Amino acid sequence: MPRVLVLLIALAVAASAAAQTIYRWTDANGRTHYTSEPPPNARASAIRSRVSAYSAPAKVEATPGAPAAMATQSVVMYATSWCPWCAKARDYFSRSGIVYVEHDIEKSANAHAEFKRLGGRGVPLILVGREKMSGFSEQGFEDMLARASR
């Protein structure tokens, strides 16, 4: 039974990823854009996102180049709608009364770009102060939150 469940989840993830197309294009000012629709009258190339959900234990590390403003207790999560670990984090935040900001990296080109800038390779990517967690664990998150409160 567990193998069947894993197979069904893998198929759902693959179908969701295949349905999402992101286009990269450069405007007249030389700025690169990432959008879900190709721009009118401009050459765009479709890119395939290589984002996966973390299945390994959560990893907590310092966020490189984090601005001093991030040293507060603000909680930010980069996620997708289909990620089971993102759902666990949402549920935990809701049960614990934790206020957070969520960015769906498949629905927002800006969120996807920021996720990549932060070194994201899988979801969820959770920021608390100057630390980031790749994946999710309740204890790891509580430890991050405690350190940010000091």
What tens digit of pLDDT does each residue of 53-93 get?
Answer: 656 566 666 655 544 444 446 899 999 999 999 999 999 99
Position 101 scores a pLDDT of 95
Report, in angstroms and rounded to the nearest whole number, the Rg of the chain calculated over CA atoms: 17
Position 15 scores a pLDDT of 45
Which pLDDT band, with edges at 50, 70 and 90, does 113 fall under? very high
Q: 135 in helix, strand or coil?
A: coil
pLDDT higher than threshold 80 for residue 145: yes
Give the tokens for residue 73: 């207790």
pLDDT higher than threshold 60 for residue 25: yes
Position 130 scores a pLDDT of 87
The CA distance from 85 to 40, in Å, is: 37
pLDDT higher than threshold 90 for residue 16: no
pTM as predicted: 0.58
pLDDT higher than threshold 80 for residue 121: yes
Q: 23 in helix, strand or coil?
A: strand
Residues 39, 44, 49: CA angle, nearest 5 degrees:
105
Position 49 scores a pLDDT of 54
Give the tokens for residue 74: 């603000």
What tens digit of pLDDT does each residue of 125-137 get?
Answer: 999 988 999 999 9
pLDDT higher than threshold 60 for residue 1: no
Give the tokens for residue 32: 């690169």
Go through the domains of the chain in sequence order and give each one's CATH number. 2-149 (3.40.30.10)
